[in-house]
């Protein structure tokens, strides 16, 4: 017979062989299955809201950029219309001056002619206003006349 095994106390040539005692189950090395599942759950609980927040942030940013582009386009259109309305009366004034320009006039006479010109009011409403005055529909008023009430 062979000497007894130090761990099990059985002889080394025993049919069960040397090895640990099959008594109570020992904890395996590392993490067990429940711990890994809990860690995975905690990871998912943190990851899912983060991904959702990133997706929502990207969608919000895209929507804001689209709104900004639409607003910028509208603003540019309004500015161009305003510019056209501001330039229109000045252009009409210069066209009128060019049609009546006297090439033989002295510089001071040209200066006096330009000084006598006045820029008409701006925009389409001013044009309608001038047309009404020409047709006799409305008489020019003194500034502040016809305004009701007092301060």
> What integer is the mean pLDDT of 74-94?
90
pLDDT of residue 143: 46
Flag whether pLDDT at 150 surpasses 50. Answer: no
Distance CA 123, CA 101 (A): 26
What b-and-e string marks burial along 106-143, b requiring 16 or more CB atoms within 10 Å of the CB?
eeeeeeeeeeeeeeeeebeeebebeeeeeeeeeeeeee
d(CA 53, CA 80): 40
Is pLDDT at 29 greater than 80 in this prediction? Answer: no
Is residue 149 scored above 50 in pLDDT? no
SS3 146: coil
What mean pLDDT do residues 10-14 have? Answer: 57
Residue 126 and residue 142: Cα distance in Å, rounded? 17
pLDDT at 18: 55
Token pair in block for residue 59? 């969608």
Indicate the SS3 state at residue 70.
helix
């Amino acid at each position: 017979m062979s000497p007894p095994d130090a761990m099990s106390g059985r002889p080394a040539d025993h049919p069960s062989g040397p090895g640990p005692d099959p008594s109570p189950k020992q904890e395996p090395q590392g993490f067990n299955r429940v711990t890994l599942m809990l860690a995975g759950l905690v990871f998912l609980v943190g990851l899912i809201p983060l991904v959702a927040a990133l997706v929502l942030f990207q969608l919000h940013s895209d929507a804001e950029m689209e709104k900004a582009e639409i607003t910028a386009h509208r603003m540019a259109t309004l500015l161009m219309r305003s510019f056209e309305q501001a330039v229109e009366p000045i252009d009409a004034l210069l066209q009128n001056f060019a049609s009546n320009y006297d090439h033989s006039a002295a510089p001071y006479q040209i200066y006096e002619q330009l000084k006598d010109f006045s820029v008409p009011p701006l925009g389409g409403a001013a044009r309608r206003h001038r047309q009404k005055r020409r047709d006799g529909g409305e008489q020019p008023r003194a500034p502040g006349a016809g305004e009701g009430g007092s301060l």
